[in-house]
Structure 1
Amino acid sequence: MSSSLKNLSDFSHLDVQNASGSRFAIVVAQWNAAITGALLSGAVDKLLAHGVAESDIEVIQVPGSYELISGADIAFRNKSFDAVICLGCVIQGETRHFDFICNAVADGIANVGLKYNKPVIFGVLTTDNEQQALDRAGGKHGNKGEEAAVTAIQMSHIARRF
């Protein structure tokens, strides 16, 4: 089914474990603040709903999506987290800057996860326009922040199991 026809944040088919006792960092970009703020709210609400204590969630604000990479690295380097959730929004403009930023952010976030052998979750919207971003930040297609939080919970449980 096309994403234009459904809420992408429907978790009714998943058994999401209780995450009490787990610690999460959320690194969030300040650029496109209305959108990233909605992503952050969705992620925090979902973590709390699955048993994570407010004191076990640390929010780190960085200037833009490119800085999510260093923010995730700084989080793991300085504190013990079960996972880091990266939230950002890159909207296509008139230049190729979009392509460079999206590729660099995806690669950088993956590399931080490999460096620390811990889950680093890619909760970055890469959309053609602002409306698509709003639709995925609490609009008709759900909230990518919630999706990132559920992914972090699931991956931290897998990491503990092995």
Structure 2
Amino acid sequence: MPLEYQGQLSYQGGRFAIVVSRYNDSITGKLLAGACEEFQKNGVPDDALDIAHVPGAWELPLIADRLAATGGYQAIVCLGAVIRGETTHDEHINRQVSLSLGQISLHRNLPVVFGVLTCNSLEQAIHRSGGNVGNKGVESAACALEMASLVQQLHDSAK
């Protein structure tokens, strides 16, 4: 029988961080509220959760990396909302932020969750931040808990 690993959607201890963009704050505020509620629902105490606010999505990777470098977190959730405008500006931001967050996760050996909405319209962002398509903040917090648990299981099994 093969050995299987699966993360648990429950607090296993340690600290978590959220880095959230203030740009499009009517959307990111809902993402943040959803993430905080999900962490609380799954047993993460308030004093085990740190929140860092950054100006925009572009700034998420720098602060995520600084937090990851401390070694004090089980996972970091990055929340933002980049909405397509009249130029291709959104494409450049989305590409670089997603690549950078992925690199931070691999380099720091730490779950860094991509909770950045990349929408074509404000309406899509509203639907994905608590509207009729769910809340990406909730999903991101759940992902952070599961990944932290899975990483810990793999670490423990290697001993």
Task: Give me the whole-angstrom Cα distance separating, in 1, the residues matched to 2:123 and 2:67.
Answer: 31
Offset at residue 18 of structure 1 (A): 1.8
Residues 8 and 150 of structure 2 are in contact (CA less than 8 Å); yes or no, is this contact kept in structure 1? Answer: no
1:86 maps to which residue? 78
Larger radius of gyration: 2
Verify: 1:148 aligned to 2:140, yes or no: yes
2:55 maps to which residue? 63
Verify: 1:19 aligned to 2:7, yes or no: no
**SS, match of residue 94 in structure 1:** coil
Task: Give me the whole-angstrom Cα distance separating, in 2, the residues matched to 1:16 and 1:158.
Answer: 7
From 99, 120, 124, the equivalent of 1:132 is 124
Residues 21 and 53 of structure 1 are in contact (CA less than 8 Å); yes or no, is this contact kept in structure 2? Answer: no
**SS, match of residue 35 in structure 1:** helix
Q: Where does structure 1 lack aligned partners over 5 or more consecutive residues?
A: 1-14
- TM-score, normalised on structure 2? 0.90
From 31, 46, 49, the equivalent of 2:41 is 49
The letter for the 2-side match of 1:133 is A
Q: Where does structure 2 lack aligned partners over 5 or more consecutive residues?
A: 1-6, 155-159
The letter for the 2-side match of 1:121 is V
Task: Give me the whole-angstrom Cα distance separating, in 1, the residues matched to 2:147 and 2:9.
Answer: 11
Task: Give me the whole-angstrom Cα distance separating, in 2, the residues matched to 1:79 and 1:161.
Answer: 18
The letter for the 2-side match of 1:71 is I
Offset at residue 16 of structure 1 (A): 4.7
Offset at residue 96 of structure 1 (A): 1.0
2:92 maps to which residue? 100
Verify: 1:77 aligned to 2:69, yes or no: yes
Percentage of matched positions with identical amino acids: 39
Task: Give me the whole-angstrom Cα distance separating, in 1, the residues matched to 2:137 and 2:8.
Answer: 15
Offset at residue 22 of structure 1 (A): 3.0
> Which stretches of structure 1, 4 residues or more, deviate above 4 A after TM superposition?
none
Offset at residue 79 of structure 1 (A): 5.1
Task: Give me the whole-angstrom Cα distance separating, in 1, the residues matched to 2:86 and 2:111.
Answer: 33
- TM-score, normalised on structure 1? 0.88
Offset at residue 155 of structure 1 (A): 0.4
Task: Give me the whole-angstrom Cα distance separating, in 1, the residues matched to 2:135 and 2:8.
Answer: 17
